[in-house]
C-alpha cells in the first residue's frame, strides 16, 4: 500500500462530495479535479499490476468494481422506489457499463457511475493489451485509448459512445501510464534520493491553491500525482491510520454520497452549499462509506479470495455466518 496514494484517494473522494454539496470555496465551485485524480491513479496502478495474466487482471478488476456498484445501485433503486418507474433496459445497460441514451440523458442509474463506464473501458483495453504483449501492455493500452479518442468521431455518430470514449478525462488515464514509466526510471537512476516528510503535504497544499486560482488541470493533476509518487519512492510516504482507512473506503464514499445527498433532499433538507451543510454531508458521507467498506466491501473482498478454493455455496454460508453470528448458549 502506497500511503501517499491512499491520501490522494481520500482527497479526491472528498473533493467530489464537497462539489455535490454546491459549496463554493474562495468563489470557486470545484471538486479539485477529483475524478481526474482517480483516472491518473487508475492508469498508474494498471501498470503496477500488469504482470498478471489477462484473466487474473480482468477478474480482479471486475471483483473490485462490480459487486459494490451493483449493491449501491440496488440500494438507490430500493430507497427511492425507482424500480416502479425506471426502464428495465436503462437499468441493465447501466449495470453492465454500456454507454447509452435514456430518460437520464447519457448518465447511468447511479449518476456517478458514468466514470465507471470509463473505468471499465480502461480495464477492457488493458486486458486486451496484456493479451497482445504483456511486457508492453501499458504502452499498447495508452496508444489504443488515444487512437480511439481521436478516431471515433470519424467512425460513428453515436452520442453515447462519443461522449464517453472521447471524453476529455480519458487522457488522464494515459497520464497515469506515463507517470508510471517516468517514476520507475527516476527510481532506478536515483536510488539514494531522500525527500523530507513534508514534501507531499506541501505539494497537496500548493495543488489546492492552484485549483482555486484556475491553473490548468492538465498540468496540475499530473504534477500532484508525480509529487506523491516521488515522495513515496524517496522515504517520504505518509500513512496516517485514519486517512489510510478513508483511502480504503474512498470507492464506497464515491458511490454512496449522492444517495445520501438525495435522501437528505427527500427529507426536506436544502443542499445549499453553506459551510455547515457541506461539512455535515462530508462527515456523514465518510461515516456511511467506512461502515459500508467494513461490512460490505471487505466481505466482498473475502469472497473474492475464497472463490478459487471453495464452492459458491460454501462462500455464501461463510458470509452469512459472519453477518449473523451463531447464538451462544
Q: CB–CB of 245/16 below 8 Å? A: no
* CA-angle at 6, arms to 5 and 11, nearest 5°: 95
Classify residue 144 by burial, with Cβ atoms within 10 Å: 0-12, 13-18, 19+: middle
**Structural domain for 275, as ranges:** 3-323
User: Looking at the domain assignment, is residue 28 inside a domain?
Assistant: yes
Q: CB–CB of 118/169 below 8 Å? A: yes
* CA-angle at 77, arms to 75 and 79, nearest 5°: 65
User: Looking at the domain assignment, is residue 281 inside a domain?
Assistant: yes
Residues 6+ apart with CB under 8 A from 65: 116, 119, 120, 123
- Residues 317 and 182: their CA atoms lie apart, in Å, by 47
Give me the tens of pLDDT residue by residue for the chain, a chain 329 residues long: 899 999 999 999 999 999 999 999 999 999 999 999 999 999 999 999 999 999 999 999 999 999 999 999 999 988 887 766 778 899 999 999 999 998 889 999 999 999 999 999 999 999 999 999 999 999 999 999 999 999 999 999 999 999 999 999 999 999 999 999 999 999 999 888 899 999 999 999 999 999 999 999 999 999 999 999 999 999 999 999 999 999 999 999 999 999 999 999 999 999 999 999 999 999 999 999 999 999 999 888 888 777 655 555 565 565 566 656 544 44
> How many other C-beta atoms can be found within 10 angstroms of the C-beta atom of residue 214?
10
- Comparing CA positions, the residue from 64, 50, 65, 36 lying closest to residue 225 is 36
User: Looking at the domain assignment, is residue 183 inside a domain?
Assistant: yes
This prediction's pTM: 0.91
- Residues 229 and 238: their CA atoms lie apart, in Å, by 11
> Hey, is 215 helix, strand or coil?
coil
Residues 6+ apart with CB under 8 A from 73: 91, 94, 95, 108, 109, 110, 113
Classify residue 123 by burial, with Cβ atoms within 10 Å: 0-12, 13-18, 19+: buried
The number of distinct structural domains making up the chain is 1
User: Looking at the domain assignment, is residue 328 inside a domain?
Assistant: no
Q: Which residue has the cell 493489451?
A: 129
How many CA atoms does the CB half-sphere of 242 hold within 13 Å? 3
User: Looking at the domain assignment, is residue 253 inside a domain?
Assistant: yes
- Set of cell numbers at residue 305: 479470495
Sign of CA dihedral 229, 235, 240, 245: positive
User: Looking at the domain assignment, is residue 148 inside a domain?
Assistant: yes
Count of helices and strands (H, E) across the chain? 15, 0
- Comparing CA positions, the residue from 309, 242, 321 lying closest to residue 14 is 242
Q: CB–CB of 64/45 below 8 Å? A: no
Amino acid at each position: 500500500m502506497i500511503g501517499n496514494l491512499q491520501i490522494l484517494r481520500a482527497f479526491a473522494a472528498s473533493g467530489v462530495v464537497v462539489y455535490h454539496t454546491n459549496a463554493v470555496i474562495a468563489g470557486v465551485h470545484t471538486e479539485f479535479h477529483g475524478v481526474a485524480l482517480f483516472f491518473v491513479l487508475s492508469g498508474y496502478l494498471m501498470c503496477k499490476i500488469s504482470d498478471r495474466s489477462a484473466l487474473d487482471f480482468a477478474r480482479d478488476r471486475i471483483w473490485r468494481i462490480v459487486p459494490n456498484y451493483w449493491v449501491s445501485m440496488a440500494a438507490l433503486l430500493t430507497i427511492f422506489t425507482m424500480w416502479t418507474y425506471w426502464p428495465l433496459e436503462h437499468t441493465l445497460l447501466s449495470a453492465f457499463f454500456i454507454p447509452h441514451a435514456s430518460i437520464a440523458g447519457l448518465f447511468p442509474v447511479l449518476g456517478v457511475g458514468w466514470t465507471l463506464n470509463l473505468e471499465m473501458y480502461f480495464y477492457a483495453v488493458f486486458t486486451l493489451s496484456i493479451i497482445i504483449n504483456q511486457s508492453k501492455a501499458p504502452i499498447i493500452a495508452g496508444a489504443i485509448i488515444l487512437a480511439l479518442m481521436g478516431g471515433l468521431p470519424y467512425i460513428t455518430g453515436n452520442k453515447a459512445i462519443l461522449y464517453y470514449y472521447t471524453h476529455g478525462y480519458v487522457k488522464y488515464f494515459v497520464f497515469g501510464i506515463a507517470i508510471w514509466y517516468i517514476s520507475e526510471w527516476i527510481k532506478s537512476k536515483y536510488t539514494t534520493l531522500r525527500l523530507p516528510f513534508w514534501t507531499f503535504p506541501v505539494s497537496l497544499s500548493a495543488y489546492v491553491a492552484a485549483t482555486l486560482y484556475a491553473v490548468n488541470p492538465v498540468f496540475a493533476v499530473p504534477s500532484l500525482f508525480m509529487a506523491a509518487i516521488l515522495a513515496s519512492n524517496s522515504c517520504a510516504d505518509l500513512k496516517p491510520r485514519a486517512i489510510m482507512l478513508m483511502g480504503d473506503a474512498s470507492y464506497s464514499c464515491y458511490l454512496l454520497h449522492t444517495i445520501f445527498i438525495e435522501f437528505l433532499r427527500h427529507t426536506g433538507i436544502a443542499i445549499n452549499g453553506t459551510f455547515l451543510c457541506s461539512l455535515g454531508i462530508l462527515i456523514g458521507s465518510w461515516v456511511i462509506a467506512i461502515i459500508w467498506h467494513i461490512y460490505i466491501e471487505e466481505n466482498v473482498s473475502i469472497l473474492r479470495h475464497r472463490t478459487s478454493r471453495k464452492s459458491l455455496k460454501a462462500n455464501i454460508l461463510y458470509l452469512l455466518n459472519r453477518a449473523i453470528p451463531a447464538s451462544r448458549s
